[in-house]
Amino acid sequence: MGFYDDYNFDGFKFFSKLKTSPLNVPCPQFLSIIKQFKSSTPPPESLTVAEIGIGAGATALQVLKLLDEGDVYYVFSREGDIKNFVEDLQTHDLGIKCQVVPCGNSNCLFDSYNWKLSNMVFKMRERHEAGIFDVVYLDGAHTLVHDGLAVCLLKELIKDGGYLILDDIFWTLAGSKWGREFGAGKFTKEQMEDKQVLRAQEIFLTTDPNWERLSTPKDHRGVFRKRIKE
């Protein structure tokens, strides 16, 4: 398990999944960008980052270890996972220094992380702020209806010079057991077989002159940087 060898996760409600989950490999691009910010001269006074969809917590734990006092980590996922995630942080000393902002969504059919992201847009506009996040890692539902809207909201929520990472851009519902079960009766055959995250990327990011693409067409993660306005 590498990084996790120092943890046995006994008594953990959320992170115990790292022992057996295939989702125990962190996102290297997310970690690299945070390290890049931290090593810049001068370093930023603070960082605000977000992870949307935390899986088994593989990326989350490493990101939390990189962040310092004054930094803020927003985590978006299902309420049950968020509850157990926060409880693990509160009941076990993992050396976390940053502020953690839990953002859970219910299991209601039409609820998702987009509702809280949209609330953040309204609050940001009320405060006349130009962005909240420095880096966002989107590893969500992998459907256009979810992640297409998320990309649109995040394009406003990310600061100039900030980064957006899209995971699994070649993933399809038809290509995984979970996807086939989740999508049955909800999506057409074309939608089941389509790379929906890639579709969101190509519609909303690739041709937007305000965003610079850092990944290549072959990369399974799309990495984009919001250009700084002159």
pLDDT at 1 (0 to 100): 46
pLDDT at 17 (0 to 100): 86
Cis peptide before 42 (omega within 30 of 0): yes
Residues 102-135: pLDDT tens digits? 999 999 999 999 999 999 999 999 999 999 999 9
d(CA 187, CA 195): 13
d(CA 132, CA 173): 31
* Cα of 76 vs its chain's centroid, Å: 7
pTM higher than 0.85 = yes
pLDDT at 38 (0 to 100): 96
Q: How distant, in Å, are the alpha carbons of 141, 203, 214 from that of 54?
A: 11, 25, 23
The sign of the torsion formed by the CA atoms of 23, 180, 141, 202 equals: positive
Residues of the chain with pLDDT under 70: 1-6
d(CA 219, CA 174): 20
Q: Buried b / exposed e across 6-22, counting CB within 10 Å, b at 16+?
A: ebebeebbbbbbbeeee
Q: Which fold has domain 2-226?
A: Rossmann fold (3.40.50)
Q: Residue 180 corresponds to which tokens in the numbers above? A: 């086939």
d(CA 212, CA 210): 7
d(CA 49, CA 62): 13
d(CA 101, CA 212): 28
What's the DSSP call for residue 92? S
Residues 3-12: pLDDT tens digits? 666 677 889 9
Q: 120: helix, coil or strand?
A: helix
Strands (DSSP E) found in the chain: 48-52, 72-78, 99-105, 133-138, 158-166, 211-213, 222-226
d(CA 27, CA 136): 12
Residues 57-74: pLDDT tens digits? 999 999 999 999 999 999
d(CA 75, CA 209): 29
List of residues 6+ apart from 150 with CB closer than 8 A: 52, 113, 114, 117, 138, 140, 200
